[in-house]
Amino acid sequence: MHQKKGKNILIYFSLLILVGSLNNVNLSKMKLINVKDINVSGLDEKNNLKILERIQNLNLENIFIISTDEIQNIFESNSLVENYEIIKIYPSTLNIQIKKTKFLARTNINGKLFLIGSNGKLIENNFSNKKLPFIFGNPITEEFLKFEKIINNSKIPYEKVRNLYYFQSKRWDLELDNKIVLKLPADDIKNSLDLAFEFLNHKDLKNKKIIDLRIKNQIIIHD
């Protein structure tokens, strides 16, 4: 009985080796299919084409073994890209969907105009969007993004902001679209903005130009 069982195991083992060998031979003879079609969407036609050409220059091989690092470098170097998604359609197609960064403000750096994107990158100001607020004072981008987030979490609509003034003490002033300037403290900014919001439509603000909120729990109004 033990001898018969041992023979069966030997037969099964031999068959496993044979099947495995055949599969390995077949895999080695399989032709790897290169990526044939790449579709890029999300930006304007010109910038989609630029990205497409750079990806095509990578000479991507089999869709199963694409190096995402090389593609990632292309997108990280493009200031218009917020994020992206690569969708593989087997056997040989890539669909790349891009989310364009949102333009938040304009600024002047060394005499040259730039837009600041929500991705934290500077974009050459070829778009002439004068509706965006202008930043004076050249803050680092991270400081601005932090401040922009505070405004969006306050009662003051960011769309009402006309100009932003940054000081080396890391304090900000805001000029609204009605030309009223809010002088803000360095800390507790959201509460100061919410407090200012309650006074913006007050009749006593008529012909007033400055709301000074730098002293905690006080509002000083100037002409």
More confident residue, 135 or 57: 135
Shortest CA distance to 200 belongs to which of 221, 223, 218? Answer: 221
Res 138: pLDDT: 87
Q: How far apart are CA 137 and CA 133, in angstroms?
A: 13
Q: How far apart are CA 155 and CA 115, in angstroms?
A: 25
Domains and CATH numbers, the chain: 37-100 (3.10.20), 103-222 (3.40.50.11690)
Res 69: pLDDT: 80
Shortest CA distance to 156 belongs to which of 186, 182, 187, 137? Answer: 182
Res 207: pLDDT: 77
Mean pLDDT for 177-203 is 90
Res 71: pLDDT: 84
- Summarised one tens digit per residue, pLDDT across range 6-23 is 445 444 444 444 444 334
